[in-house]
Amino acid sequence: MKGIAGWKSAPVLLGAVSFAAILLVWESAVRLGWANPFFISQPSAIAASLSRSARSGELWHNLAVSLREFAIGYGLSVAVGIPAGAVAGRFRTVEYALDPFLWFLYSAPLIAFYPIFVLWFGLGVPTVIVIAFLLSVTQIAASTLSGFQNVNPGLLRAARSFGATERDLLWKVVLPASVPMVIAGLRLGVGRALMGVVVGELFGATAGLGYSIAYYGALLKTTDMIASLLVVVVLGVLCTQGLSALEARFDSWRTGPDS
Amino acid sequence: MSAPPLSLKINTMVRSIFSSNYRVLVSTVTVMAFLTIWEIAPRAGMADATYTSQPSRVIAAGLEIVRTGGFVRDVYASLSEFTIGFALAIGIGVPLGLLLGRFLVLRYLLDPPIMAIYATPHLALLPIIVVWLGIGMQSKIAVAFVGGIIPILVNTMAGVRGVERSWVVAARSFCAGEWDVFVKVILPASLVSVVMGIRLGLSRAVLGVVVAEMYQSQAGIGNEIMRYGSEFRSDYLLFDVLLVSLFGFAATSAVRALEEKLWTAGK
Amino acid sequence: MMEQHHGSLAASHIRVEGLTVSYENPKAGGTFIAVSNANLDIARGTFVTIVGPSGCGKSSLLLAIAGLVPPAGGSVLVNGKPVSGPGRDRAVVFQDFALMPWRTVLDNVRFGLELQRWSGEDLTVRARRFVELVGLKGFEHYHPHQLSGGMRQRVGIARALAVDPEILLLDEPFGSLDAQTRDEMGSELLTIWEQNKKTAVFVTHGIDEAIFLADRIVVMAKNPGRITEIITVDLPRPRTIETMDSKLFIEYRRRIRECLMREARNERAAIVPQN
């Protein structure tokens, strides 16, 4: 294994093989009558559904709506979450003050507030954005907070030994040192924001990927459901992998016990 | 001079008394402040209570909810769905995770689909689970299962992989057989990660059950929540939401306490 | 037998008077005394090593001189003035290197210069000079994680030297390195030191290292952390590998070892009740 085209490509290769194998088994199982296509459909049918909705523009429309909601909700959560986490990381008091609210936002089924959000923000897109925002911002703030608080104290001490002021410590040590954790938070936040979008749309939207899943679900059209679901999965994987790659790039910035 | 000055001793004492309590103090103060503003604002005409509700209303609603018989039935339904689903997640997730963590090849083969599922918002699977299993308890159990199993699986795998190689080698040098190595070294050492996975899966499972009930169901807390929501009875809605949060918090805290016990025991 | 140099105040660069350093331990609910009533005079341009078992407070003593740890009692004077915090006259080299992982070698050496707001000369040019001085020419744009332990510590030394301190403080700088690298680094440090003869205080738990590098050796013991002996080293400079085989070197080694073992014995006796 190690010799073939470099060690790094082996997992990718195995992954591709694994996916191909799954698709093969899936398709065969249905064609051979082992599994009921009503429940799980088949890759060929799903592919057909996708190309159909792509040609009719339905796919792009839904994708655009969901992506827009995601971009705004996630973007806002980053813009709010990172500063909030940073301030809380710097000032213990702020952290303790925000703690109970963050906990609530993290552990409460925010979807439950859906009717209230509709009252406050309006039906459809605004509410979905709010849900995505709230689900994601807690994660990003928590990770940023953690990044700020877990800077290797040896680095801080070294900076102090050269006469660093509080401002110096913040800009020259804490901020760069917290980057890996902040990016980790961004990666985790993506999953949560995406979930917020999809679930928000499940409950009350007129367009979007989640909406299309629910729509076809109500019609018991499994094939089209799975097709939309697939798009969501691909989106999730792309975003997460993208941020994982970014995280890996900054991995050398981690301040472990021996830097 | 071998004893530290008295001033230093007093300073230390004061500091340690306050530090752990400071956290509680600040948190309590902010929550109190929030609750106060929340209560007063509608009274002062700054906010409309039909939109925002009030602590007093929520408490009143809560009292009324608890008195009705339907509430107990709903709690029971939700709780059992969660328990069964999550127990299944542990029962299948832990052994599977141990297996996958132990055998490299299996892991590489199954890693991509597992990672794909991990990156997917588990609640997006809701509609299809409903199509498969209907709107009864089975679909909720399934959602709890799906929500809980992924973190459990991933963390168990990581736990097994993280077991110090040196311990395994040491055990083998004492001629321990593979099974012995597994039971006596790998299992105990990875226990902390397993419990952490359980903790992470717990909130996902709780969320799953409630949202599933909100989506399509005939009973359960989520169903209640949806009902109150559609009737715009925000006080009742908030009570139920708080209840769910508190349950999640209590359960997660209990598991975290267990995690910490294992952590210190492991050292 | 204690030897103390009673030089006049004007001659001593660093003067430690009755220094006590303590740490609070919130978990154990008590105060831990790291250094108790330490007295020490260090003349300008001398290389002093501090040696002792783990927990004897040698690092704490160094950090107090550095101004990174406040005295609980007594004082540290540099050039006659009490130390109240870090300063431009002192620079520290740490055991864990403490390099900023996101900075290149060059930028890490610049780090101290930036913090101290140096102006006049271009910081990069100055930093480059010190990178060359420690033998890392060509590695300016490498990141710490790409370097070996020895190379990282060279960066740490370059960083400290770049700010041109009067006093160089080294806290077990070679403790994380393997024995061979340690010996090499020790020789190289002396070579660099010979060029500008700064006042240096070097903490170690290696007896040989302590003797090899020093003009004077401060021996410490623990429980409580205190100075037990100060030895003047009369070995000629420059020191070489052969120096370590000389009779005098071996004699010093014997003395220090005896001192340390005596303290260890006393400590054990104190624990075991005598009846």
Dihedral class, residue A229 (left if φ above 0, else alpha if ψ from -120 to 50, else beta): alpha
* Selected residue with higher pLDDT from B50 and C92: C92
| C208-256 confidence digits (pLDDT tens) | 999 999 999 999 998 888 899 899 998 888 888 888 889 999 999 999 9
DSSP 8-state symbol, C222: T
Comparing alpha-carbon positions, the chain B residue that sits nearest to A201 is B124
The separation between the first and the last C-alpha atoms of chain A, rounded to the nearest angstrom, is 33
Per 3-state DSSP, chain A is made up of helix, strand and coil in percentages (nearest 5) of 85, 0, 15
Pairing of strands C12-25, C30-43: antiparallel
* Selected residue with higher pLDDT from B153 and B120: B153
Would the CB atoms of C97 and A252 count as touching at under 8 Å?
A: no
% of residues, chain C, pLDDT over 70: 93
Which pLDDT band holds residue B126 (cuts at 50, 70, 90)? confident
| C61-72 confidence digits (pLDDT tens) | 999 999 999 998
| B162-199 confidence digits (pLDDT tens) | 776 667 777 777 776 777 767 777 777 778 888 888 88
% of residues, chain B, pLDDT over 90: 5
Question: Is the Cα torsion angle B72, B73, B76, B77 positive or negative in sign?
Answer: negative
For residue B149 the two structure tokens come to 């199993």
Residue A54: CB atoms within 10 Å: 13
Nearest to B145 by CA among B193, B98, B93: B93
For residue A111 the two structure tokens come to 């979807």
Question: How much is the CA Rg of chain C, to the nearest whole Å?
Answer: 19
Q: With beta carbons under 8 A apart, name residues in chain A contacting B235.
A: none
> Is B185 within 8 Å of B168 (Cβ atoms)?
yes
Question: Is the Cα torsion angle B120, B124, B128, B134 positive or negative in sign?
Answer: positive
Could you give the CA distance from residue A136 to residue A81 in angstroms, rounded to a whole number?
8
Q: What pLDDT is stored for residue B12 in this prediction?
A: 55
> Is C199 within 8 Å of C166 (Cβ atoms)?
yes
Q: Which chains touch B (3+ CB pairs under 8 A)?
A: A, C
Contact of A254 with chain C, judged by CB distance below 8 Å, is answered with yes
A232 vs B111, B120, B225: nearest CB: B120
C92 vs A161, A164, A255: nearest CB: A161
Amino acid letter at B97?
Answer: G
C98 vs A154, A176, A254: nearest CB: A154
Average pLDDT over residues C266-274: 72
Q: What pLDDT is stored for residue B61 in this prediction?
A: 84
DSSP 8-state symbol, A6: -
Could you give the CA distance from residue C232 to residue C216 in angstroms, rounded to a whole number?
4
Size of interface A-C (CB pairs under 8 A): 69
* Selected residue with higher pLDDT from B124 and C168: C168
Contact of A195 with chain B, judged by CB distance below 8 Å, is answered with yes
| C166-178 confidence digits (pLDDT tens) | 999 999 999 888 8
B1 vs C30, C31, C37: nearest CB: C37
| Residue to substitute from C96, C99, C153, interface A, most A β-carbons within 10 A | C96
> Is C64 within 8 Å of C76 (Cβ atoms)?
yes
Size of interface B-C (CB pairs under 8 A): 32
Q: What pLDDT is stored for residue A259 in this prediction?
A: 38
Name the helix (H) or strand (E) containing A198. helix A175-204
B47-78 residues labelled b (16+ CB within 10 A) or e (exposed): bebeebbbeebbeebbeebeeeeebeebbebb
Beta bridge partners of A63: none
Contact of A231 with chain B, judged by CB distance below 8 Å, is answered with no
| B238-256 confidence digits (pLDDT tens) | 888 888 888 888 888 888 8
C176 vs A159, A179, A258: nearest CB: A258
Q: What are φ and ψ of residue A147, in 5° steps?
A: -60, -40
Amino acid letter at B102?
Answer: R
Q: Which chains touch A (3+ CB pairs under 8 A)?
A: B, C
Beta bridge partners of C202: C49, C170
Question: Is the Cα torsion angle A139, A140, A145, A146 positive or negative in sign?
Answer: positive
| Residue to substitute from A152, A162, A250, interface C, most C β-carbons within 10 A | A162
For residue B11 the two structure tokens come to 């300073």
Q: What pLDDT is stored for residue B30 in this prediction?
A: 87
Would the CB atoms of B241 and A97 count as touching at under 8 Å?
A: no
Q: With beta carbons under 8 A apart, name residues in chain B contacting C31.
A: 4, 8-9, 12
Q: What pLDDT is stored for residue C6 in this prediction?
A: 47
Using DSSP's 3-state secondary structure scheme, residue C273 falls into coil
Contact of A194 with chain B, judged by CB distance below 8 Å, is answered with yes
Q: Tell me how far the alpha carbon of residue C146 is from its chain's centroid.
A: 26
Q: What pLDDT is stored for residue C131 in this prediction?
A: 94
> Is B207 within 8 Å of B252 (Cβ atoms)?
no
To the nearest whole Å, the CA of B245 is away from the closest chain A CA by 5
pLDDT above 80 (res B3): no
Q: What pLDDT is stored for residue B224 in this prediction?
A: 84
Domain boundaries, chain A: 1-35, 41-253
Per-residue pLDDT of chain A (259 residues; tens, 9 = 90+): 444 444 455 666 666 777 788 888 888 888 887 777 777 778 888 888 888 888 888 888 989 999 999 999 999 999 999 999 999 988 888 888 888 888 888 777 788 788 778 878 888 889 999 999 999 999 999 999 988 988 889 999 999 999 999 999 999 999 999 998 899 899 889 988 998 999 889 887 788 888 888 888 888 888 888 888 888 888 888 888 888 888 888 888 876 544 3
Q: Spell out the residues 6+ positions from residue B138 whose beta carbon is closer than 8 angstroms to its own.
A: none
Name the helix (H) or strand (E) containing C12. strand C12-25
The topology (CATH level 3) of A41-253 is MetI-like fold (1.10.3720)
Question: What are the Cα distances from residue C108, in Å, to A159, A174, C86, C243?
Answer: 11, 15, 19, 35
Which pLDDT band holds residue C8 (cuts at 50, 70, 90)? very low
Would the CB atoms of A161 and C66 count as touching at under 8 Å?
A: yes
pLDDT, mean over chain B: 79
What DSSP letter does each residue of chain B carry, written as one string?
--SPPHHHHHHHHHHHHHHHHHHHHHHHHHHHHHHHHHHHHHHTTSS-HHHH--HHHHHHHHHHHHHSHHHHHHHHHHHHHHHHHHHHHHHHHHHHHHHHHH-HHHHHHHHHHHHHHHHS-GGGGHHHHHHHHTTSHHHHHHHHHHHHHHHHHHHHHHHHHTS-HHHHHHHHHTT--HHHIIIIIIHHHHHHHHHHHHHHHHHHHHHHHHHHHHHS-SSSHHHHHHHHHHTT-HHHHHHHHHHHHHHHHHHHHHHHHHHHHHHHHH-
Contact of A162 with chain C, judged by CB distance below 8 Å, is answered with yes
CATH of C1-87+198-275, one of 3.30.70.120, 3.40.50.300, 3.40.50.720, 2.60.40.1190: 3.40.50.300
Comparing alpha-carbon positions, the chain A residue that sits nearest to C152 is A259
pLDDT above 70 (res B53): yes
| Residue to substitute from C17, C20, C23, C37, interface B, most B β-carbons within 10 A | C20
Using DSSP's 3-state secondary structure scheme, residue C92 falls into strand
Comparing alpha-carbon positions, the chain B residue that sits nearest to A1 is B105
What DSSP letter does each residue of C55-69 carry, written as one string?
TSSHHHHHHHHHTSS
Q: Which chains touch C (3+ CB pairs under 8 A)?
A: A, B
Nearest to A139 by CA among A69, A228, A56, A78: A78
Using DSSP's 3-state secondary structure scheme, residue C40 falls into strand
Interface of C with A in 60-99 (CB under 8 A): 66-68, 86-88, 90-92, 94, 96-99
Comparing alpha-carbon positions, the chain B residue that sits nearest to C33 is B4
Question: What are the Cα distances from residue C9, in Å, to C5, C49, C169, C218?
Answer: 11, 21, 21, 19
Which pLDDT band holds residue C5 (cuts at 50, 70, 90)? very low
Pairing of strands C167-171, C12-25: unpaired
Q: With beta carbons under 8 A apart, name residues in chain C contacting A157.
A: 68, 94, 98
Q: With beta carbons under 8 A apart, name residues in chain A contacting C67.
A: 161
Would the CB atoms of C92 and A160 count as touching at under 8 Å?
A: no
Comparing alpha-carbon positions, the chain B residue that sits nearest to A219 is B131
In the block, residue with structure tokens 């004061």: B14
Would the CB atoms of A109 and B214 count as touching at under 8 Å?
A: yes
pLDDT above 90 (res B104): no
ipTM: 0.86
Question: What are the Cα distances from residue A126, in Å, to A70, A114, A205, B51?
Answer: 11, 11, 10, 17
To the nearest whole Å, the CA of A228 is away from the closest chain B CA by 10
Contact of A123 with chain B, judged by CB distance below 8 Å, is answered with no
To the nearest whole Å, the CA of B7 is away from the closest chain C CA by 10
Comparing alpha-carbon positions, the chain B residue that sits nearest to C19 is B1
- Alpha helices, H only, chain C: 58-66, 105-115, 123-133, 149-162, 179-196, 207-213, 247-271
Would the CB atoms of B126 and A202 count as touching at under 8 Å?
A: yes
Q: Tell me how far the alpha carbon of residue B137 is from its chain's centroid.
A: 21
* Selected residue with higher pLDDT from A156 and B217: A156
> Is C163 within 8 Å of C116 (Cβ atoms)?
yes
Contact of A170 with chain C, judged by CB distance below 8 Å, is answered with no
Q: With beta carbons under 8 A apart, name residues in chain A contacting C68.
A: 157, 160-161
The separation between the first and the last C-alpha atoms of chain B, rounded to the nearest angstrom, is 37
Contact of A223 with chain C, judged by CB distance below 8 Å, is answered with no
Q: What pLDDT is stored for residue B17 in this prediction?
A: 58
Q: What are φ and ψ of residue A136, in 5° steps?
A: -85, -35
Would the CB atoms of B121 and A111 count as touching at under 8 Å?
A: no
C156-172 residues labelled b (16+ CB within 10 A) or e (exposed): bbbbbbbbbbbbbbbbb
Size of interface A-B (CB pairs under 8 A): 153
For residue A163 the two structure tokens come to 């006469």
Q: What pLDDT is stored for residue C274 in this prediction?
A: 54
To the nearest whole Å, the CA of A247 is away from the closest chain C CA by 14
Would the CB atoms of A164 and C102 count as touching at under 8 Å?
A: no
> Is C62 within 8 Å of C169 (Cβ atoms)?
yes
Contact of A153 with chain C, judged by CB distance below 8 Å, is answered with no
